Amino acid sequence: MKKIDILKKLRSSKLRPTKQRVEIAKFLFEREKTFHFTVESLNKLLIKKSTSKIALATIYNTVHAFKTAGHLSEVEVRGNKTYFDTNVSNHHHFYDSENSELIDIDANEIVIQKIPKAPNGKKIKNVEVFINLKN
């Protein structure tokens, strides 16, 4: 992803392209593969990569702004930290609790044959499958 696309992505999300946001966006989206991270891990990586220090609160704000804008998805796994995923398409996950690692599973790699109806007046928003791993 080129810089111009980063700026477009920010602007289209009504995020003013500030220095910090551009830096975070480049770090998150200028990569080939899906990237899974927690705010904590992202902060550590940004401290190493980036010249200027970015406040933790800014990382929280920006990551949540990207999530609201649909550029990141949130993945809940066992444990107390919140994971984010640069893959925002409908997909599933392996979760390896040995090393707290998430691995994407393409939506078409899992086929569900039978599914119950949503209860009383509710509708199904989406279906998430977690395949928990062991050694």
Nearer of residues 31 and 79 to a second copy, judged by Cβ: 79
Nearer of residues 60 and 90 to DNA, judged by Cβ: 60
Q: Which does 121 bind (CB under 5 to 8 A by kind): DNA, a second copy, none?
A: a second copy
Quick one: tokens of 79? 């444990």
d(CA 11, CA 65): 12
Nearer of residues 48 and 134 to a second copy, judged by Cβ: 134
Contact 103, 131 (CB under 8 A): no
Q: Which of 14, 51, 16 is nearest to 27 (CA)?
A: 51
Quick one: tokens of 26? 């480049």
Place of tokens 């966006």: 25
Q: Minimum distance between the CB of residue 93 and a second copy, rounded to whole angstroms?
A: 10
Q: Is 96 in the site for a second copy (CB under 8 A)?
A: yes
Q: Which residues bind a second copy (CB under 8 A)?
A: 74, 76-80, 82, 94, 96, 103, 105, 109-116, 118-119, 121-135
